[in-house]
Amino acid sequence: MRGVLVVSCLLGCGAPGKKATEPAPLAPSCKRAAEHIVDELVGGKDPRPPDDDVNAYIKMISTRCEQDGWSTPAQDCFTRIKSLADADTCGTMLTQAQQDALVRDQARR
């Protein structure tokens, strides 16, 4: 953008002779996307911003995503970013109006 559970099973559980399967990946969601975006943004910061600030930023992004109707592919993309460049690439999946709303709310923070 512009500027922008692990499930475990004990060995031996389940029916005998059945192999354990990998848990299905979690479906994308606005909350998961927002948490990942913020984790990537603040992950390397020292000192880490206060939790209240981090949580407010997560809430702001999640709200924008939900209210503006970010597509499932965009949400999925944001849950996989590893860098700001990745975030910029995911940002191209948002409409101009969605990008503008996010930038506007970021500026207010």
Please give the backbone phi and psi of residue 37, each rounded to the nearest 5 degrees, phi first: -55, -50
Domain ranges of the chain: 30-108
Q: Which of 103, 75, 83, 89 is nearest to 2 (CA)?
A: 103
Q: Which residues of 75-84 are buried (b: 16+ CB within 10 A; e: fewer)?
A: bbbbbebeee
Q: Which of 79, 94, 91, 90 is nearest to 40 (CA)?
A: 79
Cα 81 to Cα 7, 27, 33, 75, distances in angstroms: 22, 16, 9, 10
pLDDT tens digits, 24-67? 566 779 999 999 999 998 988 889 899 999 999 999 999 999 99
DSSP 80: T
Cα 28 to Cα 2, 9, 31, distances in angstroms: 22, 23, 9
Structure pTM? 0.73
How would residue 102 be classed by pLDDT, with cut points 50, 70 and 90? very high
Cα 93 to Cα 43, 87, 108, distances in angstroms: 24, 10, 23
